[in-house]
């Protein structure tokens, strides 16, 4: 079974579609764990309404009394997951119907694959595909990941019989998802890419320049604090990352 973990915060307007795209999956052996991170917009009430309306026992709600952030929410879901396989989905993103089946088929055909991810498409505010696709390589090790932050959380899938669940737990730092992929890869595991679009990454029409500056700070801190690279090595990797990130958005 696949345990699907969704951190939820102020996602009332998105969450019904999120649940719908999971229930549309062609692979049906799953549980959906929605972790509400103390939303103050009625999201938890909306989730309870959806669960009561659908009557789908595969869907569960976990509520946090205080807001702790996405990493804590995902870890809370991990701690209560029953499945051998773990998949992450962000509340404002969308899975295509074959998303889980594609990943599970790959793992079935490649027994050593414990960490897979896939290509994805940028979407607009309504999660309609824009035609801009981020392609992924067949595999990625730790060194390669340092300059290619293209592993999209919503496309990841893990086999906990290969990847210890302690490595999947996310650290409580900014860019916790990238930090998690690095800690898994640094432990000697390989991430396997499926160059097929399985998800839509919902993006607002415009991004604030301050957010872009913050992204630069985050990746630099990851090099220094998570990867523990020297200043020189961090500069080299940072340059490679910046070039690839810019090309990906053109």
* pLDDT at position 246: 67
Q: What percent of the chain has pLDDT over 70?
A: 95
Q: Kindly tell me if the per-residue pLDDT of 243 is higher than 80.
A: no
Q: Residue 15 belongs to what domain range?
A: 2-206
* Structure tokens given for 64: 């946090």
For residue 139, list its beta bridge partners. 192
pLDDT band at 248 (very low <50, low <70, confident <90, very high): low
Contact 136, 142 (CB under 8 A): no
Residue 64 lies in a domain: yes
Q: Kindly tell me if the per-residue pLDDT of 178 is higher than 90.
A: yes
Residue 79 lies in a domain: yes
Q: Kindly tell me if the per-residue pLDDT of 222 is higher than 90.
A: no
Residue 238 lies in a domain: no
Residue 250 Cα distances to 133, 134, 140, 246, angstroms: 11, 11, 23, 6
Question: Number of folded domains in the chain?
Answer: 1
pLDDT band at 3 (very low <50, low <70, confident <90, very high): very high
Question: At 81, which CATH number?
Answer: 3.90.550.10
- Residue among 37, 38, 114, 115 nearest 70 (CA): 37
pLDDT tens for residues 70-105?
999 999 999 999 999 999 999 999 999 999 999 999
Mean pLDDT of the chain: 91
* pLDDT at position 207: 46
Residue 187 CB contacts under 8 Å (≥ 6 apart), including other chains: 167
pLDDT tens for residues 28-65?
999 999 999 999 999 999 999 999 999 999 999 999 98
* pLDDT at position 247: 64
Residue 227 lies in a domain: no
Distance CA 4, CA 32 (A): 5
Distance CA 108, CA 211 (A): 39
Least trusted range by pLDDT, from 1-5, 173-177, 184-188: 173-177
Residue 136 lies in a domain: yes
* pLDDT at position 250: 56
Residue 236 lies in a domain: no
Residue 213 lies in a domain: no
pLDDT tens for residues 121-156?
999 887 888 899 999 999 999 999 998 889 999 999
* pLDDT at position 210: 47
DSSP 132-193: EEE---SEE-HHHHTT-----GGG-EEETTTS-HHHHSPPSSTTHHHHHHHHHHHTT--EEE
Average pLDDT over residues 196-209: 75
pLDDT tens for residues 59-78?
999 999 888 999 999 999 99
SS3 state at 207 = coil
Average pLDDT over residues 205-213: 56
In the chain, what's the furthest Cα-to-Cα distance? 56
Residue 50 lies in a domain: yes
């Amino acid at each position: 079974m696949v345990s699907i973990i969704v951190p939820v915060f102020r996602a009332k307007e998105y969450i019904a579609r999120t649940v719908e795209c999971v229930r549309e999956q062609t692979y049906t052996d799953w549980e959906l764990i929605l972790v509400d991170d103390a939303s103050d917009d009625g999201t938890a009430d909306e989730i309870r309404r959806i669960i009561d309306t659908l009557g789908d026992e595969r869907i569960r709600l976990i509520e946090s009394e205080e807001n702790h952030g996405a990493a804590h929410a995902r870890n809370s879901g991990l701690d209560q997951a029953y499945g051998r396989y773990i998949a992450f989905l962000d509340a404002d993103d969308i899975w295509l119907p074959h998303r889980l089946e594609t990943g599970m088929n790959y793992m079935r055909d490649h027994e050593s694959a414990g960490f897979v991810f896939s290509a994805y498409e940028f979407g607009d505010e309504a999660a309609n595909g824009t035609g801009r696709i981020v392609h992924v390589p067949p595999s990625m090790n730790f060194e390669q990941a340092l300059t290619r932050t293209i592993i999209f959380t919503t496309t990841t899938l893990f086999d906990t019989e290969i990847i210890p669940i302690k490595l999947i737990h996310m650290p409580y730092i900014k860019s916790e998802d990238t930090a998690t992929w690095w800690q898994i890869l640094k432990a000697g595991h390989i991430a396997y890419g499926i160059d097929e679009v399985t998800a839509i990454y919902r993006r607002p029409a415009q991004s604030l320049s301050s957010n872009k500056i913050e992204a630069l700070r985050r990746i630099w801190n990851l090099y220094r604090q998570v990867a523990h690279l020297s200043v020189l090595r961090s500069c080299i990797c940072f340059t490679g990352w910046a070039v690839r990130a810019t090309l990906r958005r053109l």
